[in-house]
Structure 1
Amino acid sequence: MTAFDEYERELWAGRAEAFLRSSAALCAHPAGDLLDAASVGRGDRLLDVGTGTGTVAGLGHDRGAEVTGVDAEPGMIEVARQRVPGVEFRHALLPRLPFADGEFDAAVGNFVVNHVGDPVAAVRELARVVRPGGRVAVTIWPYPPPPAQQLWATIFEAAGVERPADLPRVAPDRDFPRTADGLTDLLGRAGLTEPGCDTITWDHRTDPETWWNGPAGGIGSHGAILRRQTPATVERVRAEFDRHTAPYREADGLLTLPTAALLGVGVVG
């Protein structure tokens, strides 16, 4: 466990319900593409790592796969069990999973690589538990960030809020470029063959209060920053939020936020 891993455990502790009410819908969008990339079908043994509230696991179950979902946050497991009956959910942390070599036909991780301190070790562990010829597929948020994610940085900057210097980051010698080439290279270094990456783009439609409630509920790095601010600063951030989201607000009151994800896949040799 790196300092970044410990930070992530603290960041997400007790926030499953807040995630479900805010960012879960955004993260759910690539789920079908992720399962397609991993060639998940009826009868396949699928491992969903970083299952969160169980969206990908549930879609895999609907396809007839035999699904096991794991997450590092016990609260996520509790919510996933309530939302997706019929799927086995367990508490487990990368890069050490409690499964035998080759136990699954495929493994997927929807945005989980964004939340580990050693991405190569994490993907290597996913490959270990998949049989030869099976697929590992993962999604990450790209950098530079798409408009939906960049919007929060713009809001913080306008409100005079800076990222605290003591928030842990992935160590430079373990990090990788959050680009299509960077993710493809990561999969190859983790031992996967035929690595590749596609970019998925979409417009995320959401209520402004839902978009605000993610960071306001402590979700993600933006939530970690917002939690450290004084009430007066939070009020200033909210004012800038209203101002900078206004151009994305449609006639029905919802926001239309352009966003993107990188979807990488490789084959276990």
Structure 2
Amino acid sequence: TGNGCSGLSTTPDGPVSLIAADDNRVAYVESSTPMSIHVQTTSGIQQHITVEIDAVIDDERDEQVFQMTDTLVDYQNATITEIVLDDEYLVALVNLSSVNRLVMVNLTNGNQQILGDPVFPVASPSIGHGYVAWQHQQFLVSNNPVEFDLDWEVRYHDIVLNQSYQLHPEDDIDQIQPQVMEEHIAWLQIDEDNETQIRVFTIEVIFEPYSSSTLQVFILLLPLLLLTWVSQRLKENEGRILNYPEFSEEE
């Protein structure tokens, strides 16, 4: 149009309840289909895919949620309350009445997986640079809470390794609103006096203790390995080193 505005190549069928974007992708949820996410590109080759989010787990664990919350897991009225995405993945926060769950979707092949423990509360997802971060209340029993479990903690997931990690040591203060950056994750810490502080975690740090320990062990073992190798070579060459040829004397 004249003012530089334009619509999507495929327009929504009805009211939109939620929208998110990253670079040239727009993701949105229509009110009539609260568990479906439409993803469209806004430049280049126009693409439009629809993802049906699956937050279902086994009945036994859903019963565990009920025992801890006194509220049934309500799949019939489930809604997506937050979306974050990047070039390859999308993460949806799903409200199931008794608990929220995080579902990560591979936008290339459609594979889905639930991040974190699906029986405990999660919130505030962030994605980028191969990582997903979120806040959670691990081990919280809502109908009989222990004070130590009431605070929020931050966890993150390495997409390539398919491994999740605690971002910081266990404590009893709130750690909230994580934001994934390149090689870092920032989040907000709220202490007992309600004072806030921005914390930044360098993702590369987690690999340093492992790498350093491995190098130290290798250095300690190197002399032993060399001695073993030399000993083996000496045994292999023993005949050539010790056995001299015999010469007969001519009469």
- Given the two structures, how large is their TM-score scaled by the length of structure 1? 0.22
Q: Which has the higher helix share?
A: 1
Q: Which has the higher strand share?
A: 2
Q: Which structure has the larger Rg?
A: 2
- Given the two structures, how large is their TM-score scaled by the length of structure 2? 0.23
